[in-house]
Structure 1
Amino acid sequence: MTTATAPPLQAHPRKGAPRRRPPGDIDGFRGLAALSTVAFHVWQQYSSYDAGGTHPPVDNPLLNAVLSLEVIDLFFVLSAFLLTLSYARAAIDGGSTRPARSFLFRRAIRILPLYVLAVLVVWATRNPTLPGNWQDLFEHLTFTHVFDQERIFYTLGPTWSLSLEVLFYLVLVGLGPLAVRACRRLRRRGSRVALCAAGCLLLFAAPLAWITVAHYTLGIPHTDWVAYFGPQARFGGFAAGMGLAVTLAALGDRARLAPRAALTLTALALAGLLGLSLQSDAEGFTFTYYHPIASALWLLLLFSTLHISQRTFWNRFLTARWLTPVGLISYSLFIWHEPVMLVLHTVGLLPPGAAGFPWALLVVLAAALVAATASYWLIEYPASLLGRLKDAQGRPRNFYPEPALR
């Protein structure tokens, strides 16, 4: 789940620096991804399983592919892109980056207040007597549940991805400054771009190699969650986002896509994602390499949306008034939608059987949006104000300056 925010707009950007993308485009992606995540989990709840595989609650293959599209890779690509962009600009064209302490402080403010509260509330309701499943609670609070085959989907099932987000933050504060220092030794801009691009390709190739070895050499089944959901298998999405950041930092204002070219690439990316989802039920090449392929397609879609010379109807769709507010509350929606769905199911408010799926989807969406809106304004937004306690260099702000000497 992406929780990154865009870097601030410079009043006088240097020549060749990428112009700041309209924030609404990013919010639109967040909103679509959050809504798709809700739809996917309701679809998953209403799917039946047996030895022959999955039986979805809808008969239309195209609609089924849209509902079952996994967008977790979009969260990874988008988060890595936003957080890597300042490092990429500093490495390629010079400049400074925020200290690690400032970066991690802001990430903690963004992630922890809502997450910790949600984990405690949901865990307590499911463990009414102590000590309860204390190991599950410990692993969720330390973001290590992604390494537990049994408990990876306990308490807040979708938050296994936040474990990878936190790991990525730690990797980025180590690799980012290292890349900046390495690039400063290179005189040619092309060499700096090549070094950054090579690093991203290496990070993308490593999970590909692991998946190949795990599946074809070691014979590890796809239900081994630790093997295929851990960083060794899923960091390719972050690598793709880092690659996008390097690409846009290297291009600057050059080679921006004309509307026709942008829409063509957008259509190709969306068609590729739909085709990938259509083939994802049958075990085979696309099933095994679903997430690396999806990450590359999300990269293409983001590139064709952001690196443009003129806004298109796709950009206008992403900035629609109904969608960008969903992007604003997307983190809360991601956190609360599963507990809301399970509560509605427990109290009997979700109609049973495949015929009840459309109504269940509407009920869960409505309830989850209400809960997410309340969560944003009561928890997320107040917590975000804590970010003002430190300046861009990570130093405490002085809110009470000394009076001027007379």
Structure 2
Amino acid sequence: MSALTATRPTGTSDAAAPAPAASRGRALELQGYRGLAALSTVVFHVWQEYYTYDAHGAHPPVDSPWLGALISLEVIDLFFVMSAYLLTLSYARAAIDGNGNGNGGGNGGSIRTGKDFLFRRAIRILPLYFLAVLVVWAVRNPTLPGDWRDLVGHLTFTHIFDQERIFYTLGPTWSLSLEIAFYLALIALGPLAVRVCRGLATRRARVAVCASGCAALFVLPVVWISVAHYVVGVPHTNWPVYFGPQARFGGFAAGMALAVLLVALGDRGRLSARATVPLSVAALAGLYALSYLSDPENFAHTYYHPIAAVLWFTLLYATLHVRPREQVRWHGLLRARWVTSVGLVSYSLYIWHEPVMLQLIKSGLVPTSQAGFPIAALIVIVIAVAVGTASYWLVEYPASLLGKARDGKGVARDFYPDPTR
């Protein structure tokens, strides 16, 4: 079930193993995942608009339930897992192998101070986000004071706790509120983990502490969901209960666990191309089955996101922990220029695609019948990608230059670990 459905959007040796190569060794594959996931998100929201809000009634615009399950497969947990993996790597290296100083978060072998980390996250996210919120809110609220609570909620990332307005203005950005919560949690928990691990004599013990912490962060949201749904009986449409960080942190915990696992393994146990394929296929098949079986109030729906996070964890493990010179044939798709290009602008695409879609529908520039869904999806993709590309070069990229200026070497070392990057 969609994030927006039913709501109108206005054991290892103690000897230290070598740390894994920086994620840039598989950077193209990760960027390819972002690109494919961003395109999937656009199609998903067009599907949702036609399915849930279409004037002809709630009938899927694609008759085949098999195709419908593919189109409606949610990828938000993939973004969470990737983001947490990339940002947790430096903490995991510092905690397990003593690399870095343990003061803050970042990518690669060094660890930034918490202040620097938050600054770099802010310049990646906030200029474009605030611009989009102000523009879209102003268009939809031409007379002041308008819905000022909606504006304040979005500008402070607290709209995720507002049952009525969680999907207003920029509907998909409820997930960005979770990213902000994760950043704050990471700069608190990361240094704590490093300090605790410094007092442990063996690498095995340090790995166990880090893994246990990730497991606890994954289990707690599952317990929350179980109590809320099966004990208290909170309906699944209570968005703050099921979409807040207390319920959705499992995706980030899975990404943190992936970083810990790959640092713990180092170069040991890397997969051959032959072993990678069946593991990847199994993860993708599980994700598809989860989407197909998910129906309001059933088990697959209730625990959709924790299960999806584990499956995305598996897929990313099969992508990242491959022997250096092994070439996995299907990874060619992830490295394709058109896919990585979309991945580059995916944050801008994430921000703008819903307003673009709604304006196209309002202006009558796309077919509104359910039969016109494929054409509508194609039109929205083309225009939203164009808008996202312009937004990247005009707003997002210039803002990123501030990060290079702040870096003493003038190098932007972060690997775009934003929710949609």
TM-score normalised by the chain length of structure 1: 0.91
Moved over 2 A (4+): 391-394
Counterparts of 1:186-265 in structure 2 under 5 Å?
186-265=200-279
CA–CA separation in structure 1 for the residues paired with 2:91 and 2:262: 12
SS in 2 for 1:360: helix
Counterparts of 1:305-344 in structure 2 under 5 Å?
305-309=319-323, 310-344=326-360
- The corresponding residue for 2:47 is 43
Q: Do structure 1's residue 298 and structure 2's residue 312 form an aligned pair?
A: yes
- The corresponding residue for 1:18 is 20
Letter in 1 for 2:291: S
In the superposition, relative to structure 1, how do residues 366 and 325 fare at CA in structure 2: closer, same or farther (>3 Å)?
A: same
Which of 386, 391, 397 is the aligned partner of 2:402? 386
SS in 1 for 2:274: helix
How far did residue 238 of structure 1 move?
A: 0.4
In the superposition, relative to structure 1, how do residues 212 and 128 fare at CA in structure 2: closer, same or farther (>3 Å)?
A: same
How far did residue 136 of structure 1 move?
A: 0.5
Q: Deviations over 1:367-405 (max 9, x none)?
A: 1011001000000000000102323699xxxxxxxxxxx
Q: Deviations over 1:105-136 (max 9, x none)?
A: 10001100100000000000000011111111
Letter in 1 for 2:219: A
CA–CA separation in structure 2 for the residues paired with 1:282 and 1:140: 28
Number of positions where the alignment pairs a residue of Structure 1 with one of Structure 2: 379
SS in 2 for 1:317: helix
Which of 72, 77, 92 is the aligned partner of 1:73? 77
- The corresponding residue for 1:173 is 187
Letter in 2 for 1:279: L
How far did residue 354 of structure 1 move?
A: 1.2
Aligned identity (percent) is 66
How far did residue 322 of structure 1 move?
A: 1.2
How far did residue 55 of structure 1 move?
A: 2.8
SS in 1 for 2:99: coil
How far did residue 15 of structure 1 move?
A: 6.6
- The corresponding residue for 1:158 is 172
CA–CA separation in structure 1 for the residues paired with 2:408 and 2:350: 28
How far did residue 231 of structure 1 move?
A: 0.6
Q: Do structure 1's residue 364 and structure 2's residue 366 form an aligned pair?
A: no
How far did residue 311 of structure 1 move?
A: 2.4
Counterparts of 1:14-163 in structure 2 under 5 Å?
16-20=18-22, 21-48=25-52, 55-96=59-100, 97-163=111-177
Which shifted more, 348-357 or 288-297? 348-357
Q: Tell me, yes or no, if the aligned pair for 1:102 and 1:392 is still in contact at 8 Å.
A: no
In the superposition, relative to structure 1, how do residues 392 and 185 fare at CA in structure 2: closer, same or farther (>3 Å)?
A: farther
Ranges in structure 2 where 5+ consecutive residues have no aligned partner: 1-15, 101-110, 411-421
SS in 2 for 1:55: coil
CA–CA separation in structure 2 for the residues paired with 1:248 and 1:48: 41
Give the CA RMSD over aligned residues. 1.6
CA–CA separation in structure 2 for the residues paired with 1:255 and 1:45: 45
Ranges in structure 1 where 5+ consecutive residues have no aligned partner: 1-13, 395-406
Which of 353, 365, 371 is the aligned partner of 1:355? 371
